[in-house]
Homo-oligomer: A and B are copies of this chain.
Amino acid sequence: MPPSLDKVVVFGVGLIGGSFALALKSAGVVRQVVGVGRTQGSIARALEMGVVDAIGTDASVVRGADLVLLAMPVGQTREVMHALAPHLDGSTVVTDAGSTKRDVVEHAHAELAGSLDRFVPAHPIAGAEHSGVGAASAKLYIGRKVVLTPLAQNSERAVALVRQAWEACGALVQSMQPEQHDAVFAQVSHLPHVLAYALVDEVANHPDAARLFEFAASGFRDFTRIASSHPEMWRDICMSNRDALLEALGRYQEGLVRMRALLEAGDARGMEDIFERARAARNRWLEALK
């Protein structure tokens, strides 16, 4: 069932928040979107582009909203929750778009204790290495997954509203426990980002960096695409999901130690076994996506 939203407030009108606003407008399910940004420039641009209909200058703008989306870098989540808590009406539902969920749940318990029935944590899986409102699109979420990690305290109405809003954007909504969510994304998203940043940094710091970049080709380009991601956003994600990321990184480091041992021993068979298994697993995954 499509929602009918009179007023939606988006904190952080970048790729994620801006695309949510555009998608809701495009679906015709919202009357007014109010954007709140940290910098005058980007929020003014969002207004100019028609991504938002009005600009909110402080957290009191959430009064009377049906739905509030927190889409700033996750490092600011607690501060923004703290600021908006006193202005929340009894019927306003709040959700977020953070790439980590355990920390967001903790912040909600600390800052939104009186509104836990109406705070539904969520994570739209729609990262792109481009960021900012200029990259926002009404179609970003079509066919993409959105993971909800509802709280035990959530009302059915609040969960349904967040689900319907995302479905109106074209997304496929699923639910998970916050711990499980964070472990999954540490492994398939946060760790690869760290690994890609680390490789580019190694090449950039190499004495022969200019020549290395000269001969870097399409394999390097694709492997490192995510190293063009937003540094502040990924710093926050890594810090927020430290425990799960450290665990995934630790397993990866052990894997490299094994790989190194095979190389040092000249164990061609052992090396090929890993490559074969990995290729087969990746190809099965690609097949399943079709």
Contact = CB atoms under 8 A, between A and B. Distances in A.
Given A249-B259, A249-B260, A268-B235, A188 B217 contact: yes
Interface residues of A, number: 89
A125 B229 CA distance: 27
Count of this chain's copies in the oligomeric assembly: 2
A183 B208 contact: yes
Contact of A266 (B224, B242, B252, B272): B242
Contacts of A215: 125, 145, 147, 184-185, 188
A4 to B, nearest CB: 31
Contact of A200 (B127, B249, B256, B281): B281
Among A194, A198, A211, A277, the most chain B Cβ lie within 10 Å of the Cβ of A198
Nearest to A240: B268
A59 B197 CA distance: 47
A228 B287 CA distance: 12
A251 interface: yes
Contacts of A288: 213
Among A188, A228, A281, the most chain B Cβ lie within 10 Å of the Cβ of A188
Interface string A22-42: 000000000000000000000
B255 A268 contact: no
A228 B279 contact: yes
Interface of A: 75, 125-128, 144-145, 147, 180, 183-185, 187-189, 191-204, 206, 208-209, 211-213, 215-229, 231-232, 234-236, 238-239, 242, 245-246, 248-253, 255-257, 259-260, 263-264, 266, 268, 271-272, 274-279, 281-283, 285-286, 288
A19 to B, nearest CB: 15
Contacts of A234: 275
Contact of A217 (B127, B206, B216, B228): B127
B268 A239 contact: yes
Nearest to A284: B213
B249 A263 contact: yes
A224 B263 CA distance: 21
Contact of A239 (B188, B196, B266): B266
11 contacts: A145-B215, A184-B211, A188-B216, A189-B220, A197-B274, A198-B255, A201-B277, A203-B281, A231-B272, A235-B268, A239-B266
Nearest to A128: B218
